[in-house]
Amino acid sequence: MNERNFINRDFDLQRLEERFSRLFGQQQPRSTYVQDLREQLKNSRIFELRRSIGAILVASFGVLFAGALSVSIAVLAQKARRRLNI
């Protein structure tokens, strides 16, 4: 019975969404509102945190790549030295 109520609520939500969609049609917010909202989001703490986490990830992958490249060059150089010493 609980699952039936959930399905009915989901169907009601879909009908409500369709009704709003027909009611509002092609309404769009004012460009000044969009710009203001965009500026607020840019300055918000969560987006600042996302940017800093992204920068940390990029730097970490750069260090990881440089380390892997250094190790592979060192291994290749060691193998080359062994071939020359034989």
Q: Where are the domains of the chain?
A: 44-86
- Per residue in 34-65, pLDDT (tens digit) is 899 888 888 888 888 988 999 999 999 999 99
- Rounded to two decimals, the pTM is 0.49
Distance separating alpha carbons of residues 42 and 32, to the nearest angstrom? 15
- Over 70: is that where the pLDDT of 30 sits? yes
With b meaning 16 or more CB within 10 Å and e meaning fewer, what string describes 32-53? eeeeeeeeeeeeeeeeeeeeee
Question: How high is the pLDDT of residue 43?
Answer: 84
Distance separating alpha carbons of residues 84 and 86, to the nearest angstrom? 6
- Is the CB of residue 14 less than 8 Å from the CB of residue 6? no
Give the total residue count for the chain: 86
Question: How high is the pLDDT of residue 15?
Answer: 85
